[in-house]
């Protein structure tokens, strides 16, 4: 009976590989969560693992019409908890979170969803949020029609129009800051995708509201990372110059 139930709950996992990863990393409750998001019609099956990180796994899924979706599932572990705490504490939107491990991870996932919504409202180029429940989040899949996810800027070896990439990145940061009133707080070439000529901001779980006591410090760190990356691409911009570019961009938003 238990075996039958397990089979039932994992039928959203397409291949044996995905099933194995899933069962190694996730508890039954998480499998139940995925099942419930699938039952609501958000997707039919998790098809392949896009990325396994320290805190979350990202899968590619398909819905009933064959469209791709990205499903990000957070692990519920102690290290996740400790890494998340500074970004949740101090964000007034999440004041009431109980300090239970799973509650914090659930709040984090909700925070990523809310931040994606805020990005969408501010017209930041970011995946469209679709649904979330507990520690799982469904969003637009950024990738080609064959299901390959778009590369992060870090891994791009071909020559791009780096000036244009920089301008797009500045516009995204400015929209987040002036319109959505958030700071990404983990911005670097690892969390920017390049898709069909467009820069796409991802991984916004840790993004904090401007009123967070450390918002300024996080912004400085983001801008430093952006400065370092684009300097390597031949665009020498220090943090001060980036700030000036942000202010100039503000007028045209
Ligand atoms: N919406 C998406 N569409 C396509 N690929 C994605 C999407 N979101 C994340 N990814 C892929 O998964 C990887 C990890 O996602 P990310 O949100 O950065 O999580 P982590 O917290 O593990 O860094 C990204 O580098 C990217 O390759
Ligand atoms: Mg990331």
Closest CA to 69 of 169, 21, 138, 153: 138
Indicate the burial class of 190 (C-beta count within 10 angstroms; 0-12, 13-18, 19 or more): middle
* Total count of domains within the chain: 2
pLDDT at position 7: 55
How far does the centroid of ligand 1 lie from the alpha carbon of residue 153, in Å? 12
* Residue 179 predicted with pLDDT over 70: yes
Angle 197-152-215 from CA coordinates, rounded to 5°: 100
Active site residue 186: yes
Dihedral of the CA atoms 249, 171, 218, 239 (nearest 10)? -60
- Confidence at 20, pLDDT banded by 50, 70, 90: confident
pLDDT at position 123: 98
pLDDT at position 1: 43
pLDDT at position 8: 55
pLDDT digits (tens, 9 = 90+) for 75-116: 987 666 777 778 887 788 877 766 667 888 999 999 999 999
- Indicate if 99 and 169 belong to the same structural domain: no
The catalytic position among 91, 134, 203, 222 is: 203
- Indicate if 27 and 111 belong to the same structural domain: yes
Looking at the CA of residue 58, tell me the nearest atom of ligand 1.
12
Q: Tell me if 109 CB under 6 Å of ligand 1.
A: no
Q: Tell me if 203 CB under 6 Å of ligand 1.
A: yes
How far does the centroid of ligand 1 lie from the alpha carbon of residue 232, in Å? 23
How far does the centroid of ligand 1 lie from the alpha carbon of residue 169, in Å? 17
- Indicate if 179 and 214 belong to the same structural domain: yes
Looking at the CA of residue 56, tell me the nearest atom of ligand 1.
22
> Distance between CA 166 and CA 168 in Å, rounded?
5
DSSP string covering 133-173, please? Answer: ETTEEEEE--B-TTSPBPPBGGG--S---HHHHHHHHHHHH
Least confident of 33-42, 94-103, 182-191: 94-103
> Distance between CA 198 and CA 79 in Å, rounded?
33
pTM of the model: 0.92
- Is 147 inside any structural domain? no
* Residue 72 predicted with pLDDT over 60: yes
Residues in the 5 Å CB sphere of ion ligand 2:
191, 203
Least confident of 25-29, 43-47, 226-230: 25-29
Active site residue 103: no
Q: Tell me if 151 CB under 6 Å of ligand 1.
A: no
- Indicate if 71 and 124 belong to the same structural domain: yes
% of the chain residues with pLDDT over 70: 91
Q: Tell me if 129 CB under 6 Å of ligand 1.
A: no
Structural domain containing residue 188: 153-251
102 Cβ neighbours under 8 A, 6+ residues apart = 76, 134, 135
User: Across-strand partners of 252?
Assistant: none
**For residues 136 and 111, is the Cβ–Cβ distance under 8 A?**
no
How far does the centroid of ligand 1 lie from the alpha carbon of residue 86, in Å? 21
- Indicate if 119 and 217 belong to the same structural domain: no
* Residue 200 predicted with pLDDT over 70: yes
Mean pLDDT of 11-17: 68
Q: Give the number of other Cβ atoms within 10 Å of residue 108's Cβ.
A: 26
Closest CA to 34 of 54, 14, 55: 14
Closest CA to 195 of 150, 152, 164, 238: 150
- Indicate if 132 and 180 belong to the same structural domain: no
Domain boundary among 140, 175, 190: 140
Ligand nearest to the CA of 154: 1
- Indicate if 14 and 59 belong to the same structural domain: yes
pLDDT at position 91: 83
């Amino acid at each position: 009976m238990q075996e039958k139930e397990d089979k039932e709950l994992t039928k959203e996992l397409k291949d044996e590989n995905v099933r194995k990863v899933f069962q190694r990393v996730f508890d039954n409750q998480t499998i139940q969560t995925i099942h419930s998001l699938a039952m609501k019609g958000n997707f039919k099956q998790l098809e392949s693992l896009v990325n396994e990180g320290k805190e979350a796994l990202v899968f590619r899924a398909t819905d009933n019409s064959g469209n791709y979706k990205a499903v990000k599932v957070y692990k519920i572990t102690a290290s996740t908890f400790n890494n998340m705490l500074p970004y949740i504490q101090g964000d007034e939107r999440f004041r009431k979170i109980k300090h239970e491990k799973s509650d914090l991870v659930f709040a984090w996932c909700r925070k990523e969803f809310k931040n994606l919504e805020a990005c969408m409202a501010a017209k930041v180029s970011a995946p469209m949020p679709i649904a979330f429940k507990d520690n799982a989040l469904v969003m637009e899949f950024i990738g080609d029609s064959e299901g390959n996810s778009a590369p992060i800027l870090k891994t791009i070896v071909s020559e791009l129009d780096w000036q244009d990439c920089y301008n797009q990145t500045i516009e995204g940061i400015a929209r987040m800051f002036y319109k959505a009133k958030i700071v990404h707080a983990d911005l670097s070439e690892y969390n920017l995708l390049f898709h069909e000529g467009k820069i796409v901001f991802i991984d916004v779980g840790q993004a904090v509201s401007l009123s967070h006591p450390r918002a300024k410090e996080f912004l400085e760190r983001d801008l430093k990372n952006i400065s370092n990356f684009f300097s390597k691409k031949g665009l020498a911009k220090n943090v001060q110059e980036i700030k000036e570019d942000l202010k100039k961009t503000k007028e045209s938003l």
